[in-house]
Amino acid sequence: MRLVATGLSDVGMVREGNEDNYLHDERLGIFAVADGMGGHEAGEVASAVAIEALRAGVAGGSLITEAVIQANTAVLEKADANPAMRGMGTTLTAAIEVEGGLRIGHVGDSRAYVLRAGILARVTDDHSLVEELVRSGQITLEQAAVHPQRSVITRALGIERDIEVDDISLELTDGDRVLICSDGLSGMVRETEISAIMRRETDTDSAARALIASANAGGGEDNITVVVIDVIGEDGDPEPSPLPEIGVGIVAVRAREAREAASKAETPLGAPSALASESSTKPRRRMRVSRGVIWAAVPVVAIIAICIGLLGWYARGQYYVGYQGQRVVVFQGVPNGLAGWGPTVEWTSYLSRSDLTPAQRSTVSENISFPNEQRARESVSRFEADFEKRTTLSTTTTSTTTSSTTTTSTTTP
C-alpha cells in the first residue's frame, strides 16, 4: 500500500486572509488540515503552529493523540508568549500512516472522509454544537443546516491544557480515496457533490482543485482547504480503482471508547445572544462569528464583571431606614443586598423599635428607599421629633396626674 496526496488551500471569495493550514508529508506519512481562529492574524499563526508541532511530534515518534496534544501545548505556549495572540486556536484533523491504514487524531469541525466503492463516508464527528444537538436527537440534519448556531464549535486546540482528542483507526484498501478538509469545503458544498467530485476526478491534484472550485462556486465564504489521499496498490497502479468491491462493509473502525468518553465530556458552549442575529437562511458567514463564541469567553467574563459592578453601583447608591436589632438605623444599599453587595449601617438613631408608633413601625418595615443618606436621616429625624413631642406630652400628663393624685390625697382625709 502506498499513499499519494495533494494538499491545496484557497482563501475563498470573501475572506481577506487565509487562516487554514495543511500538511501532506508522504515521507513521514502524515496528512493534516488545521483551521485557525483569532483576530489580528492570530488564526493563521495558531493553525501554522499546530501543524508544525504535529509534524515535529510525529517525526519524534509520537503517536497521533500524543502529537495532537503536543500541538495543543504549542498553540497555548505561543499565545502565552504573545499577548496579542491570546485566545487564538485551531481545529486539527490529522492522519498518520500505520500498517493497513490511517490513524486519525481529531479536534474541532474540520473533517475526514473516505470514498470506497463509490460511497463517501464521513470518518470524523464534528465537535460542534449543532452536531451534538443532532446526535442527541434534539434537531434534525435539515434543522442543523440552517441553525443559527451552526458554526459554534465545542472543542479546539489552544483553549485549555487538557484536550480531548478523538482517536480513530481507518483501515484502507487499494483504491480508497481519503479527504481531509476544513469547513470552508463542507460548509459550502453538499456531501453528494463532494462525493461526485471524489468519484469523478482521476487523480488527487484534479480532485483537490475541483473541490476548491466547487466551494468557491457555492460562495466561497470561508477559507477552503483540502488534502486528498489516494491509496495505491503495491503494483504501483497510479489510478485509484473507482469502484472496488461493492459492499465492503466497514469503512471506518472508530475508537469507540474515545467517542463515548468524548460524548460524555463535551460541553456545548452557550452564548446564543452572540449568534442570534445570524439569519437562519443566510449562508454562513462562518468562523469569525462561530469561533467568536469560544473566544467570547473572555469578553463574556468582562461583561459579567461590568454588570456586577453596575449592580453594585446601583445598590450602593440607595439608602433606606430599617432596624439593626431593635435600633432604628439608616442603611446604605438595598434590603437583603444585590449581586453580593449587602447593606451597611451608615447612621444610627437613638430611637428603638418600641419608641415608634405602630404606623411608624410599619413605615420602617417597608424599607422605603431614599436617593441619598440626608433624605433617609431626615425621615428618621421626623420620628425622633415626634417621639420627643410624645414623650414631653406623656411627662406632662404624668405630672398632672401625680399632682391631681396628690391633690386628691390631700383632700381625702
Long-range pairs for 269-274 at CB < 8 Å and ≥24 separation? 269/129, 269/152, 269/154, 269/293, 269/294, 269/297, 271/152, 271/296, 271/300, 272/148, 272/149
How far is residue 376 from each of residues 248, 341, 364, 383, 407, measured CA to CA in Å? 84, 19, 11, 11, 47
Q: Which stretch binds Mg ion (CB under 5 A): 74-82, 169-177, 181-189, 324-332?
A: 181-189
Q: Which of 9, 62, 149, 182 binds Mg ion (CB under 5 A)?
A: 182
At its nearest, how many Å lie between Mg ion and the CB of residue 286?
Answer: 6
For residues 206 and 164, is the Cβ–Cβ distance under 8 A? no
In this chain, which of 287, 328, 376, 380 binds Mg ion, going by CB under 5 A? 287
319: β partners = 332, 370
Judged by CB, which is closer to Mg ion: 35, or 201?
A: 35
* Residue-by-residue DSSP string for 128-159: BHHHHHHHTTSS-HHHHHT-TTTT-BS--BTS
Site stretch for Mg ion (CB under 5 A), options 96-104, 131-139, 140-148, 179-187:
179-187
Sheet with 369-370: list strands edge to edge.
344-352, 327-332, 319-324, 369-370
Torsion sign, CA atoms 73, 45, 222, 208: negative
Decide whether 182 or 204 has the Cβ nearer to Mg ion: 182
If the CB atoms of residues 184 and 292 are measured against Mg ion, the closer one turns out to be: 184
**C-beta of 35 vs 230, nearer to Mg ion:** 35
Nearest one of 164, 179, 172 to 265, comparing CA atoms: 164
In angstroms, what is the minimal distance from the CB of 46 to Mg ion? 12
CB of 285 to Mg ion, least distance (A): 11
Q: How many helices (DSSP H) and strands (DSSP E) are in the chain?
A: 13, 16
Nearer to Mg ion, 164 or 222 (CB): 222
Query: Least separation, in Å, of the C-beta of 299 and Mg ion?
Result: 21
Q: Does 183 bind Mg ion (CB under 5 A)?
A: yes
Question: Shortest Cβ distance from residue 222 to Mg ion (Å)?
Answer: 4
Comparing CB distances to Mg ion, the nearer of 125 and 183 is 183
Q: Which of 277, 278, 266, 274 is nearest to 300 (CA)?
A: 274
Min CB(153)–Mg ion separation in Å: 10
Site mask, Mg ion, residues 138-177, x = CB under 5 A?
Answer: ----------------------------------------
* φ/ψ of residue 65, rounded to 5: -65, -45
Distance CA 138, CA 134 (A): 6
Q: Is 109 in the site for Mg ion (CB under 5 A)?
A: no
Q: Which stretch binds Mg ion (CB under 5 A): 172-180, 237-245, 281-289, 388-396?
A: 281-289
Contact pattern from residue 193 through residue 232 relative to Mg ion, giving x for each residue in contact according to CB under 5 A and a dash for the rest:
-----------------------------x----------
| Interface characters, 16-35, with Mg ion (x: CB under 5 A) | -------------------x
The cell numbers describing 411, all together, are 383632700
Q: With CB under 5 A, what is the number of residues at the site for Mg ion?
A: 6
**CB closer to Mg ion, 33 vs 364:** 33
Site string for Mg ion, 35-64 (x = CB under 5 A): x-----------------------------
3-class SS of residue 397: helix
Interface contacts to Mg ion, rule CB under 5 A: 35, 182-184, 222, 287
